[in-house]
Amino acid sequence: MNLDGAPVLDDAVLDELRDATGGDEEFIVDLVETYATEGAANLDGILAAAAAGDPASIVRPAHTLKSSSASLGAMRLSAIARTIEEAGRAGVSDGLAADAELARSTWVETLEAFVAAGLRR
Amino acid sequence: MSPSRAVALIVDDSAVNRKVLARHLESLDIASCEAENGREALEVLRSGGSDVGVVLLDIVMPEMDGYETLAAIKAHETLRHLPVIMISGVEELDSVVRCIEMGATDYLPKPFDPAILGARIRASLAGKRLHDLEVESAARQAELLHTIELQKEELSRFLSPQVAALVSSPEGAQLLAGHRRLATSVFCDLRGFTPFSEAAEPEEVLGVLREYHKAMGELIVEHGGTLEHFAGDGMMVFFNDPVRQDDHVERAVRMSLAMRDRFEELAAEWSRRGYVLGFGVGIDTGYATLGRIGFEGRYDYGMVGTAVIVASRLSSAATAGQILLSPQSHEYVRDLVEAEGVGEINLKGFSRPIAPVNVLRARPAAASGAGVAVASGASRSDVTA
């Protein structure tokens, strides 16, 4: 999987979000919290589908994780989720477990990055 | 509905995406409500509780995805005019094309550009508003037409249907102003009505008149006659105006025969109650002036000409059961009716006698040389008075 140029956290996206909300830091913190809950659920869905070797049911949680991660600048996780979504659509189960594991470890990194950015306690 | 008060329904399974989009809309002064999937979205829309002016629809969702939701909206009688904007990542353009073919208005690529977001939503809302205005205007127009129909109906209680229709037609003003035309005039009244009305109670007289007017009125309408007036037991009806009728003489004669038959049924009933009444008709055809007659406050649509006077005099001369047809009228329907001569009659006010015929019955269709019948010439010789 080529993840070159996909940072764990893209500051440019967060800055755009700050611009759009007039620097409403509280809103972004709340958004990150929502993301933490929602992302965890989607990750669970991905891990369960991978464990069951079920590419079809991995598509939806991977799609949602891809999309919400991109909204908050979690570009690396978004790229991984996208790869998983595409594999799921193509019905490919090979490597699904490894990709799911990569998503899980990147998820942990992403949450840590939000803490480091002061957006999560 | 101004754009600032419109509500956008955000349909996305990601709470993060919904919040981001809602926040963008808020900064554009567009209120929003949210649904997690298509099923919830349809519940919101069908409940009609919120004033949703545009739907922002994600494609991949649990329970009911964007395609199903879009299809359901487009299949719904009232929701199908609601603009639907697809929300999609740039890599999903194939899906967007499919959605637009299914009736989606537009799409919003993620990540959102606030300027594009605002422009597309406002354009959709303007389209929706235009549609709502059209619907409203069509409803108002339908209401107006309904009112006009009601007024026409009300008017036709007082006027003959042809004149009521004329009043609300574009050529009406010109026809009302007066014109000359070939027309057939029919007069009819009751024999023995004066002694009957002297002897009977007023309620009985009115009862008889009501039955008589109702029965004759139906036949006038059925034959397309224009009722100029009725006075007591007398009625004057004319044909070929304001509605043109190539067969105006034939219509006049057939109506008179039908009236005579109907009258006989009524008279049989009346004679059981002890009233002895007869029915007589006079018919003439000729050029006349037709249009508005009267004075401010009370106008009639009337016919003025020798034919009116001749028909009136023939009606007076007819004995019970007779339909007296002038020689002029007879010429038009010679092949259509069986008639008998009644000799020459001197009509009051006319220096020379005329020889009308009494119409006995219509010839059976096969023997009449159907179709030969009635000359008109009316359309060629119309003159505006």
Whether B155 is covered by a domain: the verdict is no
* Same structural domain, B226 and B88: no
Q: How confident is the model at residue B257 (pLDDT cuts 50, 70, 90)?
A: very high
Chain A from 101 to 120: CB within 8 A of any B CB: none
Give the nearest chain B residue to A64 (CA atoms). Answer: B14
Q: Domain count for chain A, please give it.
A: 1
Chain B from 108 to 137: CB within 8 A of any A CB: 110-111, 114
Span B268-296, average pLDDT: 90
Span B216-240, average pLDDT: 89
Span B238-257, average pLDDT: 94
Q: CA-to-CA distance for B123 and B293, rounded, in angstroms?
A: 59
Q: Does B63 touch chain A (CB under 8 A)?
A: no
Inform me whether the pLDDT recorded for B211 exceeds 80: yes
Q: How confident is the model at residue B1 (pLDDT cuts 50, 70, 90)?
A: very low
For chain A, the average pLDDT equals: 91
Could you read off the pLDDT of B189-200 as tens digits, one per residue?
999 888 888 888
Distance from CA of A64 to the nearest CA of B (A): 6
Span B133-139, average pLDDT: 87
Span B269-277, average pLDDT: 88
pLDDT number for residue A64: 92
Could you read off the pLDDT of B34-58 as tens digits, one per residue?
999 999 999 989 887 568 889 999 9
Peptide bond into B111 cis (omega under 30): yes
List of chain A residues whose C-beta atoms are within 8 Å of the C-beta of residue B111: 13, 16, 70-71
Could you read off the pLDDT of A28-84 as tens digits, one per residue?
999 999 999 999 999 999 999 999 999 999 999 999 999 999 989 999 999 999 999
pLDDT number for residue B134: 86
How far are the Cα atoms of A55, A58, A83, B244, B347 from residue A89, in angstroms, in the given order?
Answer: 7, 8, 10, 74, 103
What's the domain range around A39?
Answer: 24-116
Whether B82 is covered by a domain: the verdict is yes
Span B73-102, average pLDDT: 85
pLDDT number for residue B69: 93
* Same structural domain, B272 and B324: yes
Q: Are the Cβ atoms of B111 and A13 closer than 8 angstroms? A: yes
Q: Are the Cβ atoms of A31 and B110 closer than 8 angstroms? A: no
Q: Are the Cβ atoms of A30 and B19 closer than 8 angstroms? A: yes
pTM (2 decimals)?
0.55
Span B297-323, average pLDDT: 90
Q: CA-to-CA distance for A51 and A48, rounded, in angstroms?
A: 5
Whether B306 is covered by a domain: the verdict is yes
Nearest Cα neighbor of B326 from B310, B342, B312 is: B310
With pLDDT > 90 as the criterion, what percentage of chain B qualifies? Answer: 41
Could you read off the pLDDT of A76-107 as tens digits, one per residue?
999 999 999 999 999 988 889 999 999 999 99
Whether A1 is covered by a domain: the verdict is no
Inform me whether the pLDDT recorded for B368 exceeds 50: no
First to last CA, chain B: 56
Whether A11 is covered by a domain: the verdict is no
- Count Cβ–Cβ pairs < 8 Å, chain A vs chain B: 54
Whether B198 is covered by a domain: the verdict is yes
Q: How confident is the model at residue B374 (pLDDT cuts 50, 70, 90)?
A: very low
For B152, the token pair is: 């026409």
Q: For an interface test with A, which of B16, B34, B67 has the most A Cβ atoms less than 10 Å from its Cβ?
A: B16
Whether A15 is covered by a domain: the verdict is no
Whether B21 is covered by a domain: the verdict is yes
What's the domain range around B184?
Answer: 169-384
Inform me whether the pLDDT recorded for B375 exceeds 80: no
Span B331-340, average pLDDT: 94
pLDDT number for residue B378: 40
Whether A81 is covered by a domain: the verdict is yes
* Same structural domain, B45 and B179: no
Q: CA-to-CA distance for A5 and A90, rounded, in angstroms?
A: 25
Looking at per-residue confidence, does B214 or B152 come out higher?
A: B214
Closest Cβ–Cβ partner in A24, A63, A72 for B16: A72
Q: How confident is the model at residue B382 (pLDDT cuts 50, 70, 90)?
A: very low
Whether A7 is covered by a domain: the verdict is no
- CATH number of the domain that B39 lies in? 3.40.50.2300
* Same structural domain, B220 and B91: no
pLDDT number for residue B160: 67
Closest Cβ–Cβ partner in B13, B16, B111 for A34: B16
How far are the Cα atoms of A41, A74, A116, B10 from residue A35, in angstroms, in the given order?
Answer: 10, 10, 16, 17
* Same structural domain, B314 and B375: yes
- Which DSSP letter does residue B364 get? P
Span B340-344, average pLDDT: 94
Give the nearest chain B residue to A70 (CA atoms). Answer: B111
Distance from CA of A95 to the nearest CA of B (A): 23
* Same structural domain, B130 and B210: no
The owner of tokens 């009505």 is B193
Residue B57's DSSP bridge partners are B11, B86
For chain B, the average pLDDT equals: 85
List of chain A residues whose C-beta atoms are within 8 Å of the C-beta of residue B23: 20-21, 24, 27
Q: Domain count for chain B, please give it.
A: 2
Residue B288 CB partners (closer than 8 Å, separation 6+): B180, B181, B182, B183, B185, B238, B303, B304, B305, B306, B307, B308
Distance from CA of B129 to the nearest CA of A (A): 28
How far are the Cα atoms of A76, B67, B119, B266, B299 from residue A93, in angstroms, in the given order?
Answer: 21, 26, 42, 95, 92
Span B172-177, average pLDDT: 75
pLDDT number for residue B157: 64
Q: Does B64 touch chain A (CB under 8 A)?
A: no
Looking at per-residue confidence, does B133 or A5 come out higher?
A: B133
List of chain B residues whose C-beta atoms are within 8 Å of the C-beta of residue A70: 89, 110-111
Whether A16 is covered by a domain: the verdict is no
* Same structural domain, B230 and B378: yes
